[in-house]
Chain A
């Protein structure tokens, strides 16, 4: 198994591969332009990978696969914005479009391809998308669908529910949709009120349009079941243990999936997950820290891996700007200057972390590098003396005491990052009181509205297939739109820009608008960026058709196969 610097060769043609939401929209509209993928972003280094020699064998059906996640899904509803719901429920669903999975695609690139749709949508004008559905697609042969054919009515019901059902956490994403129409059994027309550039990218992402039988909208079926058209049928779920799936024998893609069964193992402790991978009990683990990755590379020489520049174990810091002390920009700026990003990178990322801002610099290549944020770039410098001055000017010469809210369920490295920062903040007199919050409460009360916390929120790494959620979710003042606006930002200068970036079809122009937003956030330090990290995904050497992705679900399962057979 030779280690290949595959990425180094491919980075040169990244522009040709990277189809962000806007580019995909432009392509769908017939514009055909792909735009500058990097957008002036801080280009990541050369990610390391051992992808193995592609086998010449033909894929064979059979076998089983076990994937590890760290916590239980709060429920199974596709309307729930939770990493762990996406990772477990999405095995059972398809979307109209999906992200293409291939070892040849950089995990950070967004390449869309048809899934339930037969082809990319027709766009007769900038406000209309016409999806043609594949024929003879059947839902799982379990109640309530009992294997019936999927129709355009189901697609209409699902999209309508995403944009208007009170249970949907994603209404903000689809408020630009004017109507959804089932033209005939295989055609769905989506009409917009105004241009909405991120639509395709978001609808294909981990929280995208998962199509379910319309009868599941009644009662609580969506919360407790996962019945779709997807490659695997949910068989059992034991909380805090595992979810098991069996192959969907009626899957609409002939011959797929290859695997007979699938298990998603819920293993909270990273150390236990590493042991489980080393002993072959788990076949795929993600977000492995760089230190343990080095060990694994040496110890399990047949394992394959890919380094992913998402921002794990980095993330961001949100603060409650609605009340003192963080309602004063100087205090937020001081907090940023008190945070030692280099020390975090050295301690948690083997020195390979890169200073981050609202849009993660590594995860999504449309973030402005820190040195292009103007005067505000100085807030990324570690400068306790200046931070103290800012605190004194804001009326806190002796500092203050403040809660720091985090959830241990994001893993030990996330906890360590918060623990390390306590000493940073103490240097300037900010005495934090750490408060651990269990994941279910975190995701329903703290991370999402009503943002039930004061002081500091230790934000996790996150990934979206378009820059829009990073700015819309985190900055929109209406909690129904700004579902991650933990800092409770309410800046009149931002709202027009947030709306403008959604409407701007030209990729370069849109990036300029997004750049303006990033500059305002940087000056005000509404959110304090930490670092983009360098986690690794590992999988067994016998697992073919697999490659790392930054999305939280596992679209790879559809085409994965066991080469030992």
Chain B
């Protein structure tokens, strides 16, 4: 009985410790800010119809109206409420950003970790593929793919995701190679652990932190790339607001006449990228085995 209790305590203690660590880290102002900002924008995106005072494409006769009580972020050249469009725009931008980063990071991680782990011909071929992708500017690559697939939200995310893939793959491979030389991997091999166990239990946790960091950086690239694609008509279809097309379209043309057209989505974009970066740091600190126990 005593043995069983001790075993149970050994299993639960780390979990309690993790929760405590999580709550302690979350209580830090920067992390609280990041979580709140992301929650705010995600909630706004989900509840846009309830929160936004106007429709996403609803015109008024107040063209270029400066920010006021009626239009908190002003109106654009077509008389549309910028505040409402920022809220609706969160939907497309966060979705494209998250999807693109998800596709790019996950596929890059799988490619990088497996080629790095197994080495040999697979590594050679995988890395040459990454070389080819890296030799093309990311936005150009996304543009070609988007042009081929056509303009839709998923296609845009897929195109940007493929453009993101090489960076994630390189980071994942590099981290995998450094982990493979560690004594605990040697120890796992010595005890007869299979490839799957080594990859999932020993390599993946040590690769996750740098991947999260690069994913948080890539989110900004994804949202900005969507803006560039939108300008060329290959991004989010016309009439659907996104922060990208709000920043790249008429707001540039009327930057001097109505700066609020670009400032509002710009601030929203900055806040989200800042929050995601802070969250990336937070997750890295939380998940990196080398930083566990440090405060």
Contacts and interface: CB of A to CB of B under 8 A. Distances in A.
A342 B239 CA distance: 20
Given A435-B151, A436-B232, A419 B238 contact: yes
Interface string A288-309: 0101100100000000000000
Interface stretch (A86-94, A118-126, A231-239, A343-351): A343-351
A75 interface: no
A404 B233 CA distance: 12
A446 to B, nearest CB: 13
B59 A271 contact: no
Contact of A423 (B58, B64, B233, B250): B58
Nearest to A348: B77
15 contacts: A269-B252, A270-B252, A271-B255, A292-B254, A347-B59, A404-B238, A407-B233, A408-B231, A408-B233, A413-B253, A420-B78, A423-B59, A434-B239, A436-B233, A438-B147
B58 to A, nearest CB: 7
Contacts of B250: 412, 416
A418 interface: yes
Nearest to B64: A291
A60 interface: no
A474 B147 CA distance: 29
A270 B255 CA distance: 11
In this complex, the member of A272, A423, A433, A435 whose beta carbon has the largest number of chain B beta carbons within 10 angstroms is A423
Contact of B232 (A408, A416, A433): A408
Given A346-B61, A420-B78, A436-B233, 20 more contacts: A291-B77, A291-B254, A292-B256, A295-B257, A343-B61, A347-B63, A348-B77, A404-B238, A406-B233, A407-B233, A415-B238, A419-B239, A423-B57, A423-B239, A426-B57, A432-B239, A434-B237, A434-B238, A436-B151, A437-B233
Interface string B44-59: 0000000000000111
B79 interface: yes
A125 B103 CA distance: 74
B78 A347 contact: yes
Nearest to A408: B233
A295 B256 contact: yes
Task: Give the contact-size bracket for chain B.
Answer: 20 to 34
Interface string A390-418: 00000000000000101110001101101
A170 B64 CA distance: 43
A437 B234 CA distance: 9
A508 interface: no
Nearest to B235: A436
A295 B57 CA distance: 27
A426 B239 CA distance: 11
A416 B239 contact: no
B102 interface: no
Interface residues of A, number: 34
A416 B245 CA distance: 12
Interface in B84-143: none
Contact of A436 (B77, B238, B256): B238
B249 interface: yes
Interface in A415-460: 415-416, 418-420, 422-423, 426, 432-438
A291 B151 contact: no
A271 B151 CA distance: 24
Contacts of A418: 238
A271 B259 CA distance: 13
B38 to A, nearest CB: 29
Interface string B180-224: 000000000000000000000000000000000000000000000
A423 B81 CA distance: 14
B234 A436 contact: yes
Contacts of B61: 343, 346
